[in-house]
Copies of this chain bind each other. A is one copy, B any other.
Amino acid sequence: MKEIQKIEYPGFSYQDGGVCAARGFRANGLYSGIKKNPTKKPDLCLVVSDVPCRAAGVFTQNKVQAAPVTVSKQHLAQTGGTAQAFLLNSKNANACNADGVEKSEEMCRLAAERLGILVQQVLIAQTGVIGQTMPIEPIVQNIDALCEGLSESGNEKAATAIMTTDTVKKEAAVSFELGGKICHVGGMGKGSGMICPNMATTLNVITTDCAITTEMLQKALRDVVKVTYNCLYIDGDQSTNDTCAVLANGLAENPEIVSEGVAFETFERALYIVMSNLTKMLAKDGEGATKLLECTVTGGKTWEDALAIAKSVIASDLLKCAMFGEDANWGRILCAIGYAPAEFTLEHVAVTLASSGGSVRVCENGAGVPFSEDAAKRVLEADEIQIQVTLADSKATATAWGCDLTYEYVKINGDYRT
């Protein structure tokens, strides 16, 4: 069961359609043969807006940056934050290749030419094996078909095309009202392995028909990434290709959001709903994962302290294994809290394990308390586990997401290149 339990938010309605939920966006995905594959899973996709968009992006902080990251950053800088198309592929990361930038730029040029827009209006993201020469022929041969097949229902094909070791596609979208107009935010993401929160993670495309300035769009993206993707931890490996970009085409015709205020907050909320749902989908479908883990820390001195503790718990390989084994080994939670780079008072720490199977308090005042192993087993049998850490230092709260560590993770990554 890789479907996540969605939380309902008043004033926002979940929609189908992913990156095509917002007006004026079309998408397509197809198999181009970047790497020969008998299943012919799509490996190339394109998301296009009918009109130019305001665009914002966050990218990997890894010092080893893949060519598409370099090219997308350049294009955003050259246009001052606009774009009309987003080209993505799986099966090749185009990282650590001597001719990488040239190839990524050529891919953008092929798409721009066919769409009749400037090359700088095309963003690009790529994922797959690092350090293998990117073949350009599959793109040359398939760019016409890719563009011709663009449609308002192409979101599923696009979401499938960016999957690597993902076992399910990841899409989310909501509608909401702004100034009497119906607006939409939708998105797709790919995740699985090499995922660690640091300013951006994985490939993610967000589209919206909201009217908003580039400056406010960039601010909203930064704010929301901080509490969603950056709170996700699969394996601590930060990719060379992490990219999250949002395109806003303004076709909802709401009064343009030009500053902070109620409308901006509503837009941020919508972005948060889409991106937090995608984050949970990424966590639940982490490489080899059988369970979504969510650690919420309350009562922290600062948000940074609370988040550091939540991330430390979620990142513990030992705890991840214990959760896979459905073993309520709470000592490992306390241990991970202890080495978090955070301030807290140990004597105030309480820990509860919860899920659809119930709730069990395992630790109070920094020490273990008796609990029923049977009740704990019922909690841990579920496929979404909450680890609730209560401090009594102040009022800050933070949540981090991750998954269990399993045989399958080792198997997948023992021989990824072949």
The answer to whether B415 and A325 have CB atoms under 8 Å apart is: yes
Q: Which residues of B contact A237 (CB under 8 A)?
A: 316-318, 332, 335-336, 339
The answer to whether the Cβ of A396 comes within 8 Å of any Cβ in the partner chain is no
Q: In the complex, which of the residues A316, A318, A327 has the most CB atoms of chain B within 10 Å of its own CB atom?
A: A318
Interface string of A130-153 (1 = CB under 8 A from B): 111000000000000000000000
User: Residue A97 contacts which of B93, B368, B416 (CB distance < 8 angstroms)?
Assistant: B368
The answer to whether the Cβ of A405 comes within 8 Å of any Cβ in the partner chain is yes
Q: In the complex, which of the residues A316, A330, A331, A366 has the most CB atoms of chain B within 10 Å of its own CB atom?
A: A331
Q: In the complex, which of the residues A95, A315, A317, A337 has the most CB atoms of chain B within 10 Å of its own CB atom?
A: A317
The answer to whether the Cβ of A194 comes within 8 Å of any Cβ in the partner chain is yes
The answer to whether A317 and B96 have CB atoms under 8 Å apart is: no
Interface string of A401-418 (1 = CB under 8 A from B): 000011101111111111
Report the minimal beta-carbon distance from A295 to chain B, rounded to whole angstroms: 15
The answer to whether A315 and B236 have CB atoms under 8 Å apart is: yes
Residues A410 and B410 in contact in the complex (CB < 8 Å), given A64-B334, A237-B316, A331-B95 = yes
Considering the chains assembled together, what is the distance between the CA atoms of A324 and B316 in angstroms?
A: 20
User: Residue A321 contacts which of B332, B346, B410, B418 (CB distance < 8 angstroms)?
Assistant: B410
User: Residue A318 contacts which of B93, B198, B235 (CB distance < 8 angstroms)?
Assistant: B235
The answer to whether A130 and B331 have CB atoms under 8 Å apart is: yes
Smallest CB-CB separation from A415: which chain B residue? B325
Q: Which residues of B contact A418 (CB under 8 A)?
A: 327
The answer to whether A63 and B339 have CB atoms under 8 Å apart is: yes
The answer to whether the Cβ of A264 comes within 8 Å of any Cβ in the partner chain is no
The answer to whether A61 and B325 have CB atoms under 8 Å apart is: no
Report the minimal beta-carbon distance from A101 to chain B, rounded to whole angstroms: 12
The answer to whether B131 and A334 have CB atoms under 8 Å apart is: yes
The answer to whether B413 and A131 have CB atoms under 8 Å apart is: no
The answer to whether A130 and B332 have CB atoms under 8 Å apart is: yes
Report the minimal beta-carbon distance from A255 to chain B, rounded to whole angstroms: 42
Q: Which residues of B contact A327 (CB under 8 A)?
A: 414-418
Interface string of A100-139 (1 = CB under 8 A from B): 0000000000000000000000000000011110000000
Smallest CB-CB separation from A133: which chain B residue? B368
Residues A331 and B93 in contact in the complex (CB < 8 Å), given A236-B315, A318-B237, A367-B98 = yes
The answer to whether B368 and A131 have CB atoms under 8 Å apart is: yes
Q: Which residues of B contact A236 (CB under 8 A)?
A: 236, 315-317
User: Residue A413 contacts which of B61, B321, B335 (CB distance < 8 angstroms)?
Assistant: B321
Q: Which residues of B contact A164 (CB under 8 A)?
A: none
The answer to whether the Cβ of A239 comes within 8 Å of any Cβ in the partner chain is yes
A-B contact pairs, 15 of them (CB 8 A): A63-B338, A130-B334, A131-B363, A194-B318, A194-B335, A236-B315, A237-B332, A238-B339, A317-B317, A317-B413, A318-B413, A321-B409, A329-B417, A407-B407, A410-B410
Chain A contact residues, CB within 8 Å of chain B: 61-65, 93, 95-98, 129-132, 193-194, 196, 198, 235-240, 315-318, 321-322, 324-325, 327, 329-332, 334-339, 344, 346, 363, 366-368, 405-407, 409-418
The 10 closest A-B pairs by CB, nearest first: A130-B331, A325-B414, A64-B338, A321-B413, A131-B368, A62-B338, A238-B339, A325-B415, A131-B331, A235-B317
